[in-house]
Amino acid sequence: MIAEIIVDVSAYPIDRPFDYGVPQHLEAVIECGSRVKVPFGPRKIIGYVTGLKDESEVDEGKLKQIDELIDLEPVFSSELLTLSKRLARETLSYEIDALQVMLPAAMRAKYEKFIIVKEPEKIEDAGLMAFFNGRTRVPLKQVTDSNLLKAIKIYADKGIVTVDTAISQQTKVKKVRTVRIMDASTLTELEKAIHPNAKKQAEMIKWMLGHAGKTMEAAKLLNETGLTNTVLKALIEKGAASERHEEIYREPDAPRLLDTPIPLQLTDEQQKALKAVNEASDKDKAETFLLHGVTGSGKTEIYLRAIKHVLDKGKEAIVLVPEISLTPQMTSRFQERFGSLVAVMHSGLSAGEKYDEWRKIHRREVKVVVGARSAIFAPFENVGIIILDEEHESTYKQDDTPRYHARDVAIWRSEFYGCPVILGSATPSLESYARATKGVYTLLELSRRAKNQSLPAVTVVDMRDELKEGNRSMFSVQLADAVQKRLDKKEQIVLFLNKRGFSSFVLCRDCGTVVECPNCDISLTYHRANESLKCHYCGHEEAVPLDCPECESEHIRFFGTGTQKAEEEISKLFPEARVIRMDVDTTRQKGAHERLLRQFSEGKADILLGTQMIAKGLDFPNITLVGVLAADTTLHLADFRAAEKTFQLMTQVSGRAGRHELAGEVFIQTYSPEHYAIELAKTQHYETFYNLEMLARKQYGYPPFFYITLIQFSHEDLLKVADFADKATRFMKSNLSQDTVIIGPAAAAISRVNNRYRYQCLIKYKKEPKLIETLQQLIKMYRTNWLKEGLLMTVDMEPASI
């Protein structure tokens, strides 16, 4: 028997399976999808079996054998193997990357170099001897001293030590050691035989007599007796007890139950939507629904009931939520309804916890997974429904290889299982809404809030006026007054400050003008190095104006504010307020999100100040005021989706206020109050926004009217990267059709990262049958030649942002 195996040699420019012989003893157990260890060159590495056959083209003498089968059960079902092929093809990635992205990090192939001491007695270097300290296998990374390294090299030349690569299991199955104590008569017999000098053993046996027949954790036994493991081991040896190592799961923090009441009666709109979804699942129909409903309209309740419907039929459910700050409350609601049938997968878990959740799914011990993007690969084999909540979120797009969108993968899997997909959002992506209006997706609308609460009153504050009044603070007079009022009433406040993307723009504080590219309808990016403004789509460049091209004011300069600065201003304006700041800096630690949110929900702070991570999901009854400190930061992102992102954010942020009994109020501060994305966020008129934004997209040829592919280049040498980008662009131009628009190459929005210069090229097309093939050729040139010259190139079909 011959196995086709994909091995992890990403640096290797060949992307195909290798043939290996299957040793006889493995023939009966090996399957497609099995994880194995194989020799590759001088190393032993992990691979995945993707095919089994009788004959190989490789000479029998040259054919290597599989070393070891790692798991008894295959890690990939045939469905996931097929999916990985499609994933690799559609994202132009290596197959190994498409396979590994489906597994928890703990299971991915990882290599570590080890020093193997072959003839320890021949080592004379005292330092080295002390370092090895009797060990014969030491991780190379532990050698941090150059003298030791030199000594090791000398002995390696003589063959006394070798350096070998081995697979390190980054995270193992967690086991607990338990001890079963024998019955009293056995113990009494043994007690008699114990040597009078072995006092400790006698002491432990006495204790055991009081616990005869019991099973307990070894650690507990040692703790209670106060005796050492050596004593316990001696007694186990003598037969006083037996020990076992049992596999256990690492439990992430226990869910915090919210006691969300289960509504007895769905609204008419909810009923209609649920019926449509359930009908599709009863017909085993792969139908994609776009569930468009304002915040609080009862979308989650529909998810819960649609899941119940498929669980009753013995099927499984996958629920994706965009960010971990959202998951505590969301997961709690799923756990309340479905209890221990729920697995949770998100980036807040440790590698070990994720591995354990994965195994629960793989072993069918759970039926529902709630998780972030990668949970779309949950190894269920009878999927009955897939749900993407907040489907417009860009976190569903992976920005590293393989560059997949969870929405696409959801639809591929639903096609295999014949099951519905629900895409839910208050502000659907333009792409999804366009598909729904064309009938590719089925549109389901929830136009009212479930408990009939009114949407909060939204006030847009014109910051240009503040400057005229001489107020230079980040807080307008109106917002500051509103904050003070809530503080007096002991109600809670959320203040939102979107971190400006990584790029920055130039804004006139008198009239709100932002300098834009004449060709591309996006903000120009400010480059400090040569005081210039550049378009990172087309390369257009101009000098930073000294006064505003619209109103000739001198107050035109680069714009940016941070959460730390905002915190300082808050403490000056409202010294008595208790503030929780939530941004990347304060949430780095594991569990920090949950902790901070819990503190806020328990009323331990008056103000929650944060970046987009607090924009959604929060559902606390006492929040009555939401303030957006600077809507402009998103509005002028150098991205054609800037208006869409602003509308989405403003709508979501507003949705945080007044979700319960207390009425809510929202203030949006901006220098561009007349922009339609901000105007319409006041009333949350999605359809009007959609129609206006579609006009702009059509005029400038952006999605959903055109598809976009982004090629990015980086190199340590500026001239080289420009040269490669130019070569690649010319290659694409000469192979693609006339109707396809190729823009660039141009310097990227962040033109230098980690000492590497970055360029990009944008391809816009409606129908381009030769695109994939041409890109494959380009990638081949890159892998075989350009990579060696220090270039890094990535291709992203339908990037989340440009």
The site for ligand ADP (CB under 6 A) is made up of: 260, 263, 265-267, 270, 293, 295-301, 450-451
532 sits near Zn ion (criterion: CB under 5 A): no
**548 touches, from Zn ion, ligand ADP, none (C-beta below 5 to 8 Å by class):** Zn ion
Smallest gap from Cβ 653 to ligand ADP, in A, equals 14
Give the one entry of Zn ion, ligand ADP, none that residue 519 binds, where binding means its C-beta sits below a cut-off of 5 to 8 angstroms depending on kind. Zn ion
- Contacts of the segment 334-339: beta carbons below 8 A, 24+ positions apart: 334/304, 334/368, 334/370, 335/255, 335/257, 336/255, 336/257, 336/258, 336/259, 336/260, 337/262, 337/304, 337/308, 338/307, 338/308, 338/311, 338/367, 338/368
CB of 393 to ligand ADP, least distance (A): 14
The string of DSSP letters for 109-140 reads --EEEEEEES-GGG---HHHHHHHTT-SEEEG
Indicate which of Zn ion, ligand ADP, none lies near residue 263 (CB less than 5 to 8 Å, by partner kind). Answer: ligand ADP
Q: Between 550 and 568, whose beta carbon lies closer to Zn ion?
A: 550
Does 335 interact with Zn ion (rule: CB under 5 A)? no
537 binds, among Zn ion, ligand ADP, none (CB under 5 to 8 A by kind): Zn ion
Q: How far is the CB of 776 from ligand ADP (least distance, A)?
A: 42
Instruction: Work out whether 2 is an interface residue with Zn ion (CB under 5 A).
Output: no
Q: How many CB atoms lie within 10 A of CB 173?
A: 15
Q: Which of 113, 308, 540, 685 binds Zn ion (CB under 5 A)?
A: 540
Return the number of the residue (520 or 635) whose C-beta is nearest Zn ion: 520
- Does residue 674 bind Zn ion (CB under 5 A)? no
- Cβ pair 692, 787 in contact under 8 A: no
Name residue 644's amino acid. E
Bridging pattern class, strands 532-534 and 525-527: antiparallel
Question: ∠491-492-497 over CA atoms, to 5°?
Answer: 150
Shortest distance (Å) from residue 422 CB to ligand ADP: 11
Under the binding rule (CB under 5 A), the answer on residue 506 touching Zn ion is: no
Q: Which is nearer to Zn ion, 80 or 520 (CB)?
A: 520
Give yes or no for residue 548 binding Zn ion (CB under 5 A): yes
- Minimum distance from residue 504 beta carbon to Zn ion (Å): 17
- State the minimum distance, in angstroms, from the CB of residue 450 to ligand ADP: 4
Q: Which of 553, 599, 735, 777 binds Zn ion (CB under 5 A)?
A: 553
Let me know: does 420 contact 305? Beta carbons within 8 Å. Answer: no
Q: Which stretch binds Zn ion (CB under 5 A): 179-187, 489-497, 536-544, 613-621?
A: 536-544
Contacts of 570 (CB under 8 A, 6+ apart): 495, 577, 579, 607, 609
User: What x/- string results for residues 450 through 489 when contact with Zn ion is judged by CB under 5 A?
Assistant: ----------------------------------------
Report CA-CA distances (Å) from 416 to 145, 380, 740: 55, 12, 33
Report if residue 204 touches Zn ion, rule: CB under 5 A.
no
Contacts of 214 (CB under 8 A, 6+ apart): 180, 181
CA-nearest of 344, 360, 378 to 79 is 378
Residues 203 and 228: beta-carbon distance below 8 Å: no
Select the residue interacting with Zn ion from 189, 550, 554, 687 (CB under 5 A): 550
Kindly state the smallest distance separating residue 410's Cβ from ligand ADP, in Å: 18
Closest by alpha carbon to 471, among 479, 463, 483?
463
519 binds Zn ion (CB under 5 A): yes
In whole angstroms, the minimum distance from the beta carbon of 621 to ligand ADP comes to 10
Q: Which does 550 bind (CB under 5 to 8 A by kind): ligand ADP, Zn ion, none?
A: Zn ion
Residue 415's φ and ψ, nearest 5 degrees, are -65, -40
Cβ at position 681, least distance to ligand ADP in Å: 17
Q: Which two tokens stand for residue 436?
A: 């729904």
Cα–Cα distance list, 92 to 431, 733, 797 (Å) = 22, 19, 9
Q: Which stretch binds Zn ion (CB under 5 A): 14-22, 310-318, 529-537, 660-668?
A: 529-537
Residue closer to ligand ADP, measured from CB, 427 or 709? 427
Q: Number of residues interacting with Zn ion: please give it, by CB under 5 A.
A: 15
Least distance to ligand ADP, CB of residue 301, Å? 4
- Measured distance CA(311)–CA(317) in Å, rounded: 8
104 touches 20 (CB < 8 A): no
Q: Single out the residue of 340, 419, 343 nearest to residue 384, CA to CA.
A: 419
Smallest distance from the beta carbon of 616 to ligand ADP, in angstroms? 9
Nearer to ligand ADP, 299 or 715 (CB): 299
Strands of 452-606, DSSP E: 457-462, 492-496, 506-508, 525-527, 532-534, 541-543, 556-558, 579-582
The one among 411, 538, 544, 577 contacting Zn ion by CB under 5 A: 538
Q: Which does 467 bind (CB under 5 to 8 A by kind): Zn ion, ligand ADP, none?
A: none
- Per CB under 5 A, residues contacting Zn ion are 508, 510-511, 513, 517, 519-520, 535, 537-538, 540, 548, 550-551, 553
